[in-house]
């Protein structure tokens, strides 16, 4: 059995939003070497660029012509420069004045990443003839092209080497709240590193999954920036449709002039946006309906946040200084829109080794 094969790609986007097929870039580095493997893991090191799950891409026909309107639609829900707290640089106390000059104004890209179900880490059954799309949402800022990196790891099979249920305390005074699972106070990553030492894993992945009984919560991997995660995201989750009215420039032109009818007025515009989107995306309404279903009421399903996230494990120096591979700003985040009864969330953690 061939050893797992790792390829690291450096990508320089040419536009802010870009759909990039990484498959030909991998072939340019290693030829047809990936064709000998059954599975391939794709890992983005960034919080505004990632991958859709393979099943979602299949529903979209593995086609740029359908992926493009899907993300353009989400960008209409979270428009750029719409007054997000994250983008008000005078409030960003963690940044120096010099950093504020170059810090991207990109809250919309973070929200689109989470709302669109993008992942930092996905595993595909290997189909060498199909494209694999790296979705870039914030590739250019002030005419500066961002430097992106993605790790591609091909393997034959994976083996579960350890599984453990962890209790994570999430005390909060807020109904809608979020928790940085990389925070040393939880001690999770210290445990994970101990497992890697104990089981001697060189290539693999760690999966965090909410226990089946957990409700009103979701997981994502993104930037845990206070204004984004504690202000912009909860505001969007509390009432997504009202949020769209406040932020969207093409929805409800003057809703403030008709108090009490804002929702109906916005819904009218939303229907037009919905039908416009479907005209360009003939694969059916299921994907759109899942997004729309959380816009008419408080966000019961938290847009498209998932119940699980994965993190790549690699001992290769090329994929980064840490064995648990992540970009500078990436962290697993637990988002909840109701407080658990005992102030604790249960997460099932699985460590897998690649072969």
CATH number of the domain encompassing residue 219: 2.60.120.460
CB neighbour list of residue 128: distance below 8 Å, 6 or more residues apart: 23, 32, 34, 35
293: pLDDT strictly greater than 70: no
Tell me, rounded to whole angstroms, the distance of Cα 100 from its chain centroid. 24
299: pLDDT strictly greater than 70: no
Q: What angle do CA 334, 338, 344 make, to 5 degrees?
A: 60
Q: What angle do CA 325, 331, 334 make, to 5 degrees?
A: 135
Q: What is the arithmetic mean of pLDDT over 252-279?
A: 47
* Cβ–Cβ under 8 Å, residues 149 and 45: yes
pLDDT band at 265 (very low <50, low <70, confident <90, very high): very low
Instruction: Write down the pTM of the prediction.
Output: 0.87
Q: What integer best gives the mean pLDDT of the chain? A: 85
User: Which range of residues forms the domain containing residue 128?
Assistant: 5-354
d(CA 229, CA 238): 13
* Cβ–Cβ under 8 Å, residues 351 and 163: yes
What's the confidence (pLDDT) of residue 116? 82
d(CA 231, CA 133): 31
pLDDT one-digit tens code per residue, 84-117: 899 999 999 889 999 998 899 999 999 889 888 8
Phi and psi torsions of 308, nearest 5°: -145, 155
Q: Coil, strand, or helix at residue 348?
A: strand
Q: What percent of the chain has pLDDT above 90?
A: 57
Provide the number of structural domains found in the chain.
Answer: 1
What's the confidence (pLDDT) of residue 244? 63
Q: Which of 51-60, 158-167, 236-245, 336-345 has the lowest mean pLDDT?
A: 236-245
pLDDT one-digit tens code per residue, 81-90: 888 899 999 9
CB neighbour list of residue 41: distance below 8 Å, 6 or more residues apart: 121, 122, 123, 124, 152, 153, 154, 155, 205, 312, 354
Count of C-beta atoms within a 10 Å radius of residue 94: 8
E-strand spans in 99-234? Answer: 121-125, 133-136, 140-141, 144-145, 148-155, 158-169, 177-180, 203-210, 217-223
What's the confidence (pLDDT) of residue 339? 87
Using CA atoms, how far residue 138 sits from 9, 50, 110, 113, in Å, is 18, 11, 9, 10
pLDDT one-digit tens code per residue, 12-45: 999 999 999 999 999 999 999 999 999 999 999 9
pLDDT band at 253 (very low <50, low <70, confident <90, very high): very low
d(CA 242, CA 199): 49
pLDDT band at 77 (very low <50, low <70, confident <90, very high): confident
Question: Taking Cα atoms as reference points, which of 352, 321, 312 lies closest to residue 44?
Answer: 312
Q: Which range in 238-242, 259-263, 335-339 is most confidently predicted, on average pLDDT?
A: 335-339
Q: Decide which of 71 and 303 is more confident.
A: 71
């Amino acid at each position: 059995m061939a050893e797992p094969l790792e390829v690291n790609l450096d990508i320089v986007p040419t536009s802010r939003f870009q759909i990039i097929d990484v498959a030909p870039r991998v072939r340019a580095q290693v030829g047809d070497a990936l064709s000998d493997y059954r599975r391939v893991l794709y890992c983005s090191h960034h919080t505004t660029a990632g991958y859709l799950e393979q099943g979602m891409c299949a529903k979209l026909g593995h086609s740029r012509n359908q992926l493009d309107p899907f993300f353009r639609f989400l960008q209409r829900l979270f428009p750029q420069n719409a007054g997000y707290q994250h983008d008000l640089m005078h409030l960003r106390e963690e940044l120096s004045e010099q950093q504020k000059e170059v810090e991207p104004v990109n809250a919309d890209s973070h929200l689109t990443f989470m709302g669109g179900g993008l992942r930092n880490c996905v595993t595909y059954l290997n189909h060498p003839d199909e494209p694999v799309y790296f979705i870039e949402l914030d590739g250019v800022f002030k005419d500066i092209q961002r430097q992106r990196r993605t790790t591609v790891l091909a393997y034959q099979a994976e083996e579960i080497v350890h599984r453990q249920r962890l209790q994570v305390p999430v005390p909060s005074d807020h109904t809608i709240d979020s928790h940085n699972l990389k925070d040393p106070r939880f001690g999770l990553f210290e445990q994970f590193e101990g497992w890697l030492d104990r089981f001697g894993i060189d290539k693999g992945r760690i999966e965090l999954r909410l226990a089946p009984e957990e409700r009103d919560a979701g997981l994502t991997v993104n930037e845990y920036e206070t204004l984004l995660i504690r202000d912009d995201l909860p505001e969007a989750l509390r009432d997504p449709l009202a949020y769209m009215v406040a932020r969207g420039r093409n929805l409800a032109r003057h809703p403030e002039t008709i108090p009490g009818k804002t929702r109906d007025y916005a819904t009218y515009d939303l229907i037009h946006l919905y039908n416009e989107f479907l005209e360009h995306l003939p694969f059916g309404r299921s994907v759109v309906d899942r997004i729309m279903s959380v816009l008419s009421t408080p966000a019961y399903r938290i847009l498209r946040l998932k119940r699980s996230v994965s993190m790549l494990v690699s001992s290769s120096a090329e994929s980064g200084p840490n064995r648990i591979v992540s970009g500078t700003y990436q962290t697993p985040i637990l988002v909840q829109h109701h407080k658990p009864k005992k102030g604790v969330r249960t997460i099932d953690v699985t460590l897998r080794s690649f072969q």
